Amino acid sequence: MKKIKNVTCIGAGYVGGPSMSVFAENCPNINFTIVDKDEKKINAWNGDVDNLPIYEPGLKEIIKKTRNKNLFFSNDIDNAIINSDIIFIAVNTPTLKEGPGAGFGADLKYIISCAEHIAKIAKSDKIIVEKSTVPIKTAEKLNEIFSKNNSSVHFEILSNPEFLAEGTAIQDLRSPDRVLIGGNKSKSGQNAVSVLVEIYSKWITKEKIITTNLWSSELSKLASNAMLAQRISSINSLSAICDATGADIKEVSNAIGLDHRIGRYFLNPSVGFGGSCFQKDILNLVYLCRTYGLDEVAEYWYQVVKMNNYQRSRFSNKIIQKLGQDLTNKKITLFGWSFKKDTNDSRESASIFVAIELLSRGAKINVYDPQTSNEIIYNDIKEYSSNYSNIIDNIKYVNDPYKATEQSSCVGILTEWDEFKSLDWKEIKKTMVNEKFIIDGRYILKDKIEEKITYL
Ligand code: NAD
Ligand code: UGA
C-alpha cells in the first residue's frame, strides 16, 4: 500500500478545521494542509488561538500542539494540490438559490470548482475524498470533470461523509460512533478505501470503520441527518399537543425515550432545529425524491421542515399574544443567538427568524449570547430580511445578561447555553417592566426555578 505523506483539505470551515486537526493529532507522520480561498480565514487560523475562526471546545488545545508541526493552514491552494496524495473536499454545499431545483437542491458549484481546480493543477495520481455532504451520484459528476479536464492522472473518488455535531466536534471526531467510507468496487477503488481505513485506524477501532459502495455512503449521510431532524420535529409536534392539553412535553419525552427501541437522544423539544445542515440536507433529500418521481416520499420528508417552521412561529406568536400585535416601543430580550450551545455558529438559528418577526412589528430587541456579536447579528438579519434597513437599528448585542434585560417586557430563551440556567432569574425579573413575560423555548428552566415561566 502506498505510504501517505501529505494530505490536503480544501475548505477551512466547521468541518475542515476540526477534522484535519484531529487527523493531525493522531497521525504525526503525515502532514495535513488546510487551504481555503478565504485569505482572512486562513490568517485567523494561523493567528491567536483565542481568536480562531470557529469556537469549538477542545479545538485550540489541539491547534497549539499540532500547528506548524504536521498541521498547516495555507492560501497556496495550487502547491497543496500538487504535493498531496489525498485531497479532502470540505467546502460548503448550500441550498440552491436559483435555477432548476432552487430552494431544494444542493448547490454544488463550490465542489465543482474544487474538482476543476484539482484537475487543472494535479500532476500525479490522487485520492479525492468527498467530505462535504452531497447528493447521490455526485462522485459520478466529479469523475466526469476529472476525465474531461485531465486524462493523464488517475483520480480515485471516495465518499467519507462527516458526522460531527458542532459544540461536540472534537469529542465526535476523536471517538465517532462510526466512520463511513464509500468507494468503487474496482481494484483501484478498493485500494483507495484501504488507504483511508488505514489512516483512520490510527485511533479508531476497525469495527467502527464501515465501508460501502459510493452511493450508499452518499445517501447514508443525508438519511442520517433526515432521521435526526425527524425526531426533533416529532417531539416538537407533540409539544404543541402538550401546550393545548396540559400534558408536559418533558415528561412525555422522558416516557417515550425510556423505551430502548426509541432511545432518549434527539427528543429535546425546542424552538426548532437550526444549523447549516438539517434543513438544507432534508430539502436536498426532498429534491432527490422528486427527481426520481417519488413524490409521496418527498412529501413525507418535507413535512419535517414544515413542522420546524411551525415551531419557530409558535414561539413568536406566543410573545405576540402576550404583548400585542403592535410591539412598537416594547423592549424584548433574546437569550441565545447561536443555533445551539457551545458554538459561535448561528446559521439558520431559530433566533434569526423570531427576531425578524418581532422587529417587523416594531419591537426593540437586545440579544445576549456568550458567543455572538453585533456583526454576526447584523449579517444574519441582512441575509434573511428584505426589510433590513428599516429594522436593523432596533436590534443590538448587549454583553451582559442582566443589562440586556433592563426595561424589557419579555425575555425569550432560544439557545440552551448552560450559563442561562445559573442566572439569578429573580434579579432578571426585577430589571424587567410591564408584562415581565419570560418564555423558555428550550425548556431549560423547567422545574429548576420558582419564577413563573411560560414554555413553548
Ligand atoms: P463552512 O462554510 O464552514 O466552510 C466551507 C469553507 O470552504 C469556507 O471557508 C469557504 O471559503 C471554503 N471554500 C468554498 N469553495 C472553495 C474553493 N473552491 N476553494 C477553496 N475554498 C473554498 O462549511 P462547513 O460547515 O465546514 O460544511 C462543509 C460541508 O460539510 C458541507 O457540505 C456541510 O453540509 C458538511 N457538514 C457540515 C457539518 C457542520 O457541523 N458544519 C457537519 C457535517 C457535515
Ligand atoms: C447535525 C448532526 O447531529 C451531525 O451528526 C451532522 O454531522 C451535522 O448536523 C451536519 O451534517 O452538519 P449539528 O447541526 O451541528 O449536527 O448539531 P445538532 O446537535 O444535531 O443540533 C441541530 C439542531 O437541532 C440544533 O439547533 C439543536 O439545538 C437542535 N436539537 C437537537 C433539538 O432541538 N433537539 C434535540 O433533541 C437535539
The pLDDT value recorded for residue 449 is: 83
> Rounded to two decimals, what is the model's pTM?
0.96
Check whether residue 435 and residue 394 sit in a common domain: yes
Q: What is the 3-state secondary structure (H, E, C) of 244-261?
A: HHCCCHHHHHHHHHCCCC
The pLDDT value recorded for residue 409 is: 98
CA gap 317, 328 in Å, rounded: 16
The pLDDT value recorded for residue 393 is: 96
The pLDDT value recorded for residue 390 is: 93
- DSSP letter string, 353-393: HHHHHHHTTT-EEEEE-TT--HHHHHHHHHHH-TTHHHHGG
C-alpha cell read off for 32: 495535513
Check whether residue 187 and residue 336 sit in a common domain: no
Under-70 pLDDT residues of the chain: none
Please say whether the beta carbons of 93 and 110 come within 8 A: yes
The pLDDT value recorded for residue 450 is: 81
Query: Which ligand places an atom closest to the C-alpha of 111?
Result: 1
C-alpha cell read off for 230: 425527524
Check whether residue 181 and residue 270 sit in a common domain: no
Check whether residue 202 and residue 251 sit in a common domain: no
CB-neighbour burial class of residue 135 (10 A; exposed 0-12, middle 13-18, buried 19+): buried
Q: Which residues of 39-65 are buried (b: 16+ CB within 10 A; e: fewer)?
A: eebbebbeeeeeebbbbbeebbebbee
Range of the domain at 423: 223-455
Q: Is the CB of 163 under 6 A from ligand 2?
A: yes
Q: What residue owns the CA closest to ligand 2's atom 18? A: 165
- Residue that finishes a domain, picked among 212, 244, 269: 212
The active-site residue, picked from 221, 280, 330, 340, is 221
Q: Is the CB of 173 under 6 A from ligand 2?
A: no
The active-site residue, picked from 9, 27, 242, 277, is 277
- Residue that finishes a domain, picked among 183, 212, 241: 212
**Mapping DSSP to helix (H, G, I), strand (E, B) and coil, where does residue 212 land?**
strand
Q: Is the CB of 169 under 6 A from ligand 2?
A: no
Check whether residue 150 and residue 53 sit in a common domain: yes
Residue with cell 437522544: 265
* Whole-number average pLDDT of the chain: 97
Can you give the length of the chain in residues?
A: 456
Q: Looking at the domain assignment, is residue 1 inside a domain?
A: no
The pLDDT value recorded for residue 312 is: 97
Check whether residue 206 and residue 246 sit in a common domain: no
User: Which of 22, 36, 77, 109 is the pocket-test mutation for ligand 1 (most atoms within 8 Å of CB)?
Assistant: 36
Check whether residue 227 and residue 359 sit in a common domain: yes
Cα 272–276–281 angle (5° rounding)? 85
Spacing, Cα 59 to ligand 2 middle (Å): 19
Q: Is 162 a catalytic residue?
A: yes
Check whether residue 243 and residue 380 sit in a common domain: yes
Q: Is 277 a catalytic residue?
A: yes
Residue with cell 430563551: 413
Check whether residue 196 and residue 274 sit in a common domain: no
Check whether residue 301 and residue 355 sit in a common domain: yes
CA gap 266, 235 in Å, rounded: 9
The CATH number assigned to the domain holding 120 equals: 3.40.50.720
Query: Which ligand places an atom closest to the C-alpha of 172?
Result: 2
H helical segments located in 186-340 = 187-200, 214-245, 249-257, 278-291, 295-323
**Mapping DSSP to helix (H, G, I), strand (E, B) and coil, where does residue 33 land?**
strand
The pLDDT value recorded for residue 451 is: 81
Q: Looking at the domain assignment, is residue 217 inside a domain?
A: no
CA gap 12, 15 in Å, rounded: 7
User: Which of 41, 224, 277, 346 is the pocket-test mutation for ligand 1 (most atoms within 8 Å of CB)?
Assistant: 277
Check whether residue 335 and residue 355 sit in a common domain: yes
Check whether residue 140 and residue 230 sit in a common domain: no
Instruction: Identify the helix (H) or strand (E) that includes residue 32.
Output: strand 31-35
Task: Please count the structural domains in the chain.
Answer: 2
Q: What residue owns the CA closest to ligand 2's atom 23? A: 273
Q: Looking at the domain assignment, is residue 232 inside a domain?
A: yes
Q: What residue owns the CA closest to ligand 2's atom 29? A: 273
First to last CA, the chain: 56
